[in-house]
Structure 1
Amino acid sequence: SALGAKEVDATRKNLGWPYDPFHVPEDVKKHWSRHVPEGAALEAEWNAKFAEYEKKYKEEAAELKSLSNGEFPAGWEKALPTYTPESPADATRNLSQQCLNALAKVLPGLLGGSADLASSNMTLLKMFGDFQKDTPEERNVRFGVREHGMGAICNGIALHSPGLIPYCATFFVFTDYMRAAMRISALCEARVIYVMTHDSIGLGEDGPTHQPIEHLASFRAMPNILMLRPADGNETAGAYKVAVLNRKRPSILALSRQKLPQLPGTSIEGVEKGGYIISDNSSGNKPDVILIGTGSELEIAAKAGDELRKGGKTVRVVSFISWELFDDQSDEYKESVLPDAVSARVSIEAGSTFGWEKIVGSKGKAIGIDRFGASAPAGKIYKEFGITVDAVIEAAKAVC
């Protein structure tokens, strides 16, 4: 807190400083002014050396400039992998590693690692070794089991230079150990990519100590942070594109342990909108019901939509990968995805339902988990907790 006027006056007297606030005495000015030409000469000398370096080592000089000014190579995003429904099913944590390794080839400032969980978080950059005192050119950082320190280190890297893109990883539930550092990322507008795997009860037998419930809702409540929960390969690639492009916002990627199919209708471009339509058999922007899913539950919403259509319903299925990005869109776009006239809405997400009333409205239904998890295989626990196609169909019929 501020000292206050009396304490400031007393401090001035104690230090023998009689000058007005912000007044710089003449002798102090003279002392520091002599350093101006010295600094200018040193800068000119450095610029001359760099000009020579640039002539001899064009590629290395371009990379250094990129790290310093944050200008990425043209078309860098084309390095991101794309997928089709025929591509094999895979966990989004594995798809995340594919994206990280693809981006590392074209973004020299991408570096990071895990809190001693690299083999589970799938964060290893395969073409690089470990960043150490004697190997500063390598990009895999072994943070150790210290989540808060890991986040703080990444904040420092991100704020050092606009061309540096740090990422760090652990299980999503363990963000509780690093939340303060993540909040500082958001507060300081530091572009840190938080790669958070094992994002739901789908992780299985590790049980409630490792199964996040309230975490998605809590980060959606935090200002200036992007919470992204991709459903498949295209959405994971889109999440990374968004994370790199958002220079003044950190991003959290919530990724699955279990394998997920590559869904029809998902796209990198759709992710940039936060929420978008992946299938729709209605006309005139008036479906009978809108089914909304995120991450591993988008597949469930899509299957429920198929079954409801067989019964004659017009159904729109929406991927809602990021509330924050959707909020950034125009009112016209939001209306094209979630029209005000359609109150029959059902959301499904393997996490707390807190906040979903904002999306589904007072007449809609939010399917989720508002208790701690349990230890069981993913398929069994999904069924026991009602995160199923049948639950979505039942809810849809109730709200139509």
Structure 2
Amino acid sequence: MPTRRQCANAIRALAIDAIEKSKSGHPGAPLGMADMAEALWRHGFKHNPANPHWYDRDRFVLSNGHASMLLYAVLHLTGYDLGMDDIRNFRQLGSKTPGHPEFGETPGVDMTTGPLGQGISTAVGMALAERLLAAEFNRPGHTVVDHHTYVFLGDGCLMEGVSHEACSLAATWKLGKLIALYDSNGISIDGKIDGWFTENVAGRYAAYGWQVVGPIDGHDADALDKALAEARADETRPSLIICRTHIGFGSEKADSASCHGSPLGDDVAAAAKKALSWDAPAFTIPDDIAAAWDARRAGAEAEAQWRAAMDAYRAAYPDLAAAFERRMSGALPADWSAVAARMIQGAREAGESIATRVASKKALESLVPALPELMGGSADLSGSVGTKTSSSTLFDPDSATGNYLAYGVREFGMSTVMNGLSLHGGFIPYAGTFMVFSDYAKNALRLAALMGIRAVWVFTHDSIGVGEDGPTHQPVEQVPGLRLMPGMDVWRPCDTVETAVAWKCALESAHRPSCLSLSRQNLPFVRRNDAQVEAVARGGYVLRDCQGTPELILMATGSEMGITLDAAEQLRLKGRKVRVVSMPCCERFDAQDKDYRNSVLTPGVRARIAVEAAAADYWRKYVGLDGAVVGMETFGASAPGKVLAEKFGFTAEHIVSVAEALLR
């Protein structure tokens, strides 16, 4: 029977081999954290390598994602569908072992990591999901939700401010099944951290309300076992286990930044293996060590026991079991189509000229009671952004009940928690703040898009229409910036109907996050026929047309649609043939087939004008070299909204003058 150190050294050997073959990678952290990984994954980690999507598995997040070969080695050794050829292809095009862990690319990877701090912060959302589901679905004698969320993180993760935002919430929410193992090695890329990271981490986490265990020797198996047992025993406080380790353990470069982000080199790698008493050939695991790591049989038995418990639960509580399984599968309720249709029809019949932030709240009044998986929230702006409804109940940390989260002023942390809720399953998170503050959350939105998960951000106060608050609160570049993000749908609806359709499409987009860009000011209601209402979901459509081929196409979104329609009417009265196109979601429009896109933006119509109170350049792909954009070229200013509209040219009269210049 191999020793535990020999089992840990299997991780180290595979990391060395893969990084040397790739000629790139980060060997220091896998070498330093291998004993931590052995203690967790071989002693108490609940998973089934044959089914990486088992609902009640423990979740694992490698927050310091540059240590990816640690995770790939563990997944290979425990029996996931990650063969030795995949290990050999580390960091190569199309491999299942990319440079940083990527959700959806590698079986067993529970989230994409690499941007430091986001792993631990997203794990807070995963642990919250587990606690909420356990409270909602478990019954006496029937426990179907009962697992932990484990995180490995390093000094860099704790330097990032988002770790503060989310970890503070984790203690407030009493997430006792969140356990973080801190790889405290005192080294980052620039060298020894005592010149820039001297805070008392234990004191910081104790102040949050976490249980702090250690510091312990992160290379001592017995100390790790004891620390993990202590962490698991406290079910009311999240736990931080401080593990003192040596980066690059076993190599000549240990305890130095030189082993952080570069291969060890042939000679140092060979010497490290010798120091670790590892004499197996490259990419080879001795049979006894492979057998000691193999978790397939134990994992299958663990899942089989859970499935038996699930069968008994289903027999005793069939409705609850069906609801649980539906939500974990990501499917919307059976009556979803009817719910969405009523919401949209209600907006049409009401015909209200209101702010789209208010229209969004009205949509949520229909959606929240119909979809128990919706978990709302706001970054301390519930009343302003309209995310809290009459059916919203604030989360109670004592009972773990509620469907609304008060995140406080934590836009980034809020967004990482949303990602964690979505990744765990059982919830569709939505939350709001002002559009200008989307910049604080941007990197979490980017990871959501990269992972292809369902979450909805409600960004209000989306233009210079904010008015007197001035340029610090008037988004100019944010909306086009979000549109440039691959995999993200950005909706900027112009009225209540488009807002309702935006919500429908966002909730149906199971593998794509969405942003709603909403107005503070009231906007006019626009009449549409049935075909036009249906076409809203295509992202762009003809809202008003002329007889025959148009000589001018006006396109607009959101709060500028009203003045664009007014300009079109003025031009029509002057004998001009004008088409007005509404573009509430450019990403969905761009995804339509060519024939449809050409039917809306007819080729050959050279006179095109786009109107949006945001940075102008994004629209040039639609208007072409001969077209024009009525947009923002500067920041805004502090003044009433109507004054700003006049100053920056967002009036029907200005649009008409631009059109007439193009048509000369």
Structure 1 distance, partners of 2:393, 2:653, is: 48
Indicate conservation of the 8 Å contact 2:567/2:652, yes or no.
yes
Structure 1 distance, partners of 2:286, 2:372, is: 47
Which residue identity does 1:27 align to in structure 2? D
Change (3 A) 1:305 1:56: same
Which residue identity does 1:108 align to in structure 2? P
Structure 2 distance, partners of 1:85, 1:231, is: 16
Q: Is 1:208 matched with 2:466?
A: no
Question: Structure 2 length normalisation: TM-score?
Answer: 0.57
What residue number does 1:79 align with? 339
Question: The residue matched to 1:90 in structure 2 has which SS?
Answer: coil
Give the number of the structure with larger relative contact order, counting CA–CA contacts within 8 Å between residues 6 or more apart: 1
Question: The residue matched to 2:544 in structure 1 has which SS?
Answer: strand
Indicate conservation of the 8 Å contact 2:360/2:386, yes or no.
yes
Shift of 1:36: 4.4
What residue number does 2:385 align with? 121
Question: The residue matched to 1:167 in structure 2 has which SS?
Answer: strand
What residue number does 2:547 align with? 282
Indicate conservation of the 8 Å contact 2:352/2:496, yes or no.
no
Question: Structure 1 length normalisation: TM-score?
Answer: 0.94
Q: Is 1:358 matched with 2:621?
A: yes
Change (3 A) 1:134 1:128: farther
**What stretches of structure 2 of length at least 5 have no aligned partner?**
1-23, 26-262
Identity of aligned residues (%): 40
Question: The residue matched to 1:367 in structure 2 has which SS?
Answer: strand
Change (3 A) 1:46 1:85: closer
Change (3 A) 1:52 1:4: same
Which residue identity does 1:228 align to in structure 2? W
What residue number does 2:655 align with? 392
What residue number does 1:191 align with? 454
What residue number does 2:106 align with? none
Change (3 A) 1:13 1:257: same
What residue number does 2:78 align with? none
**Aligned ranges 1:130-149 → 2 under 5 Å:** 130-149=394-413
Which residue identity does 2:408 align to in structure 1? G
Q: Deviation above 6 Å: which 4+ runs of structure 1? A: none
What residue number does 1:296 align with? 559
Shift of 1:167: 1.3
Shift of 1:201: 0.8
Between 173-182 and 21-30, report the one with greater CA deviation: 21-30
What residue number does 2:270 align with? 9
Change (3 A) 1:77 1:259: farther
Q: What whole-Å deviation, never above 9, does each CA across 1:201-247 have from its counterpart, x for those lacking one? A: 11121111100011112112222211110111111111112212222
What residue number does 1:151 align with? 415
Shift of 1:113: 0.6
Indicate conservation of the 8 Å contact 1:85/1:264, yes or no.
no
Shift of 1:328: 0.4
Which residue identity does 1:157 align to in structure 2? L
Larger radius of gyration: 2
Between 44-53 and 315-324, report the one with greater CA deviation: 44-53
Which residue identity does 1:55 align to in structure 2? A
Structure 2 distance, partners of 1:119, 1:320, is: 28
Q: Is 1:178 matched with 2:441?
A: yes
Change (3 A) 1:8 1:224: farther
RMSD: 1.8
Q: What whole-Å deviation, never above 9, does each CA across 1:285-325 have from its counterpart, x for those lacking one? A: x1121110100111111111122212222211100112211
Between 109-118 and 128-137, report the one with greater CA deviation: 128-137
Q: What whole-Å deviation, never above 9, does each CA across 1:24-83 have from its counterpart, x for those lacking one? A: 3222233345x5444433323322222222222222111111121112123414323222
Change (3 A) 1:77 1:296: farther
**Aligned ranges 1:7-46 → 2 under 5 Å:** 7-33=268-294, 36-46=296-306
Which residue identity does 2:545 align to in structure 1? D
Change (3 A) 1:86 1:73: closer
Which residue identity does 2:421 align to in structure 1? I
Structure 2 distance, partners of 1:181, 1:261, is: 33
Indicate conservation of the 8 Å contact 2:467/2:639, yes or no.
yes
Structure 2 distance, partners of 1:159, 1:57, is: 26
Shift of 1:125: 3.4
Between 179-188 and 77-86, report the one with greater CA deviation: 77-86
What residue number does 1:270 align with? 535
Structure 1 distance, partners of 2:270, 2:508, is: 49
For residue 308 of structure 2, the aligned residue among 37, 40, 48 is 48
Question: The residue matched to 1:202 in structure 2 has which SS?
Answer: helix
Structure 2 distance, partners of 1:364, 1:216, is: 21
Q: What whole-Å deviation, never above 9, does each CA across 1:242-263 have from its counterpart, x for those lacking one? A: 2122222211110000011211
Q: Is 1:91 matched with 2:91?
A: no
For residue 341 of structure 1, the aligned residue among 589, 604, 609 is 604
Question: The residue matched to 1:349 in structure 2 has which SS?
Answer: strand
